[in-house]
C-alpha cells in the first residue's frame, strides 16, 4: 500500500520536544501533518481498536466473576498499540510488553487462541504454563509475552542485529512502558542499537503510570524522547491517542530503519484509562479528575469522530459492529470455558525438541502416580 508520509518528522540528531499530532479532540485532521491514509486502512484500525475495547470490558467482567484469574487491559492506549502495529510491514517482528494483544489480533491472531490462553485450557498454545494475557503468536510475527520488565527490548535489538547480519529486510519493534526505561535492558538495548545502527524501533508507551508510580517520578529527563540522545538514537514525541499521528511517525521510522538509517525511539504519549491490571485499584493513588480529563482525549472516540466527519462511519454501523464483536467474543468464551484443562503429561512436553530419557521417565512416574481425591 502506497501511503504518503511526510518526511522530516523524526529529528536526525536530537529529540523533538514538540508533540507530533494530526487529529484534534474533535477528529479534525491538520492538513499539514495528515498522512492521507486510505479510508479502508483507517476503518480497519478503528474497528481493531473498538474490538479491543469491547474485549477488555468482557475480560474484566470474567475476571471479577472468577472465571479467569487475571487480565491486563489496554483501555485508553489502543491507538498507541494498534496504529503502530498497522504501520509495520508484514515481515517485521513485534516484541511485546503485556498490553499489546491488540497488535497480534490486528495481525490475524485468532481470537479463539487468545481466549484459550485466558482460560489456560488444553487448547492453549502455552499449555497453561503462562499467566493469562501472556501469549505468543509466531504466525503473526509476535514473540512471547513475558512478565519481567524490559527483557523484550534487548531481544528486539538482538533479533534486528541477526537480521542485519543476514541481510534480511526485517525491522523489529519493541513495546514497553515508561517504567521500563529504568530497567537495565533499556540501557543495553538502546546502546547496542545505537552503536550498530540496528533496524529496530523502541515504542515507549508513556501512559502516565508504572503501576502506581507517576511518569514524572520515573525520570529527570525533560521528556522520555530525550533519552535517545545519549545513545545516538533520534527520539520523537507523538500524541499516542491520535491513531493517524502514531501511524505516520511509526511508518516513517520503519522506512528509515529498513533503508539503513538505524533505530528510532518513539515516545507515545497516552494515558492508562483503566487499572494497571485486574489486581490493581488506581483509585488508591490517582485523582478521579485526572482520569476524567484524560478520557476527553479517548483514542477510540477520537478516531470515530474523524471517520464520521468523512462520512465513513455511522451510528448504525457502530451498533452493528458492537453486536457482531460481542457475539464473536461470546462464542470464544463458551468454547474456551468448555474445554478441558491441560493434561498432567503436557507439563513435560515441548521442553526439549526431543524429550530426553530422564524426562520421559519422570513424565511416566507423574502420570501413573497417586492422585489426590479432591481436585486442587
DSSP 22-48: SB-TTSPBPTTT-----HHHHHHHHHH
pLDDT in tens, 236-272: 999 999 999 999 999 999 999 999 999 999 999 999 9
pLDDT value of position 260: 97
pLDDT value of position 2: 41
- pLDDT band with cut points at 50, 70 and 90 for residue 103: very high
**293 plus 351 within the same structural domain:** no
Domains: count for the chain: 2
pLDDT value of position 51: 98
Of 218, 207, 215, 258, give the one whose Cα is nearest residue 91: 258
pLDDT in tens, 141-159: 999 998 899 999 999 999 9
**364 plus 252 within the same structural domain:** no
**Span 56-71, average pLDDT:** 97
**239 plus 353 within the same structural domain:** no
Residue 4, domain member (yes or no): no
pLDDT value of position 298: 95
Residue 21, domain member (yes or no): yes
**163 plus 307 within the same structural domain:** yes
pLDDT in tens, 273-318: 999 999 999 999 988 767 777 778 999 999 999 999 999 999 999 9
Residue 120 CA to residue 116 CA, distance in Å, equals: 6
CATH code of 289's domain: 3.40.50.970
pLDDT in tens, 116-128: 999 999 999 988 9
Examine the pLDDT at 93 and tell me if it is beyond 90: yes
C-alpha cell at 276: 494497571
**356 plus 335 within the same structural domain:** no
Going from the C-alpha of 239 to that of each of 70, 135, 151, 169, 222, the distances in angstroms are 29, 28, 25, 28, 16
**58 plus 131 within the same structural domain:** yes
Residue 3, domain member (yes or no): no
pLDDT value of position 28: 97
pLDDT value of position 6: 55
Strand order through the sheet with 200-206: 16-20, 235-239, 264-269, 200-206, 172-177, 93-95
Q: Which domain holds residue 361?
A: 345-376
pLDDT value of position 7: 55
**239 plus 280 within the same structural domain:** yes
Write the CB contacts of 358 (distance below 8 Å, at least 6 apart in sequence): none
pLDDT value of position 287: 85
Mean pLDDT of the chain: 93
Radius of gyration of the chain (CA): 21
Residue 30, domain member (yes or no): yes
Examine the pLDDT at 96 and tell me if it is beyond 90: yes
The residues carrying an active-site annotation are 272, 276, 285
Residue 29 CA to residue 22 CA, distance in Å, equals: 5
- pLDDT band with cut points at 50, 70 and 90 for residue 4: very low
DSSP bridge partners of 238: 20, 268
Task: Count CB neighbours of 369 within 10 A.
Answer: 8
Examine the pLDDT at 104 and tell me if it is beyond 90: yes
**234 plus 353 within the same structural domain:** no
Residue 53, domain member (yes or no): yes
Amino acid at each position: 500500500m502506497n501511503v504518503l508520509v511526510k518526511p522530516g518528522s523524526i529529528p536526525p540528531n536530537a529529540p523533538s520536544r514538540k508533540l507530533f499530532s494530526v487529529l484534534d479532540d474533535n477528529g479534525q485532521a491538520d492538513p499539514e501533518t495528515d498522512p492521507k491514509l486510505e479510508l479502508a486502512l483507517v476503518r480497519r484500525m478503528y474497528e481493531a481498536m473498538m474490538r479491543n475495547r469491547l474485549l477488555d470490558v468482557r475480560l474484566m467482567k470474567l475476571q471479577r466473576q472468577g472465571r479467569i484469574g487475571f487480565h491486563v487491559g489496554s483501555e485508553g492506549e489502543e491507538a498507541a498499540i494498534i496504529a503502530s502495529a498497522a504501520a509495520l510491514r508484514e515481515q517485521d517482528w513485534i516484541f511485546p510488553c503485556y498490553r499489546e494483544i491488540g497488535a497480534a489480533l490486528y495481525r490475524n491472531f485468532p481470537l479463539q487462541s487468545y481466549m484459550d490462553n485466558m482460560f489456560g485450557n488444553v487448547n492453549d498454545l502455552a499449555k497453561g504454563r503462562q499467566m493469562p494475557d501472556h501469549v505468543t503468536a509466531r504466525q503473526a510475527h509476535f514473540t512471547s509475552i513475558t512478565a519481567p520488565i524490559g527483557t523484550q527490548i534487548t531481544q528486539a535489538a538482538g533479533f534486528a542485529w541477526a537480521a542485519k547480519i543476514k541481510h534480511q529486510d526485517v525491522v523489529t519493534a519493541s513495546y514497553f512502558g515508561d517504567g521500563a526505561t529504568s530497567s537495565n535492558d533499556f540501557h543495553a538495548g538502546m546502546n547496542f542499537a545505537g552503536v550498530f545502527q540496528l533496524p529496530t524501533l523502541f515504542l515507549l508507551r508513556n501512559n502516565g503510570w508504572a503501576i502506581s508510580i507517576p511518569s514524572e517520578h520515573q525520570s529527570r529527563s525533560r521528556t522520555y524522547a530525550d533519552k535517545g540522545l545519549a545513545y545516538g538514537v533520534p527520539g520523537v514525541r507523538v500524541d499516542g491517542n491520535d491513531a493517524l499521528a502514531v501511524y505516520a511517525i511509526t511508518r516513517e521510522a520503519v522506512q528509515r530503519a529498513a533503508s539503513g538509517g538505524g533505530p528510532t525511539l518513539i515516545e507515545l504519549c497516552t494515558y492508562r484509562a483503566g487499572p494497571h491490571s485486574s489486581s490493581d485499584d488506581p483509585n488508591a493513588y490517582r485523582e478521579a479528575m485526572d482520569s476524567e480529563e484524560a478520557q476527553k482525549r479517548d483514542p477510540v472516540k477520537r478516531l470515530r469522530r474523524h471517520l464520521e466527519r468523512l462520512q465513513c462511519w455511522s451510528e448504525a454501523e457502530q451498533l452493528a459492529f458492537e453486536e457482531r464483536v460481542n457475539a464473536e467474543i461470546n462464542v470464544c468464551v463458551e468454547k474456551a470455558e468448555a474445554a478441558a484443562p491441560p493434561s498432567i503429561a503436557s507439563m513435560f512436553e515441548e521442553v526439549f525438541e526431543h524429550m530426553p530419557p530422564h524426562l520421559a521417565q519422570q513424565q511416566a512416574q507423574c502420570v501413573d502416580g497417586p492422585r489426590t481425591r479432591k481436585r486442587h
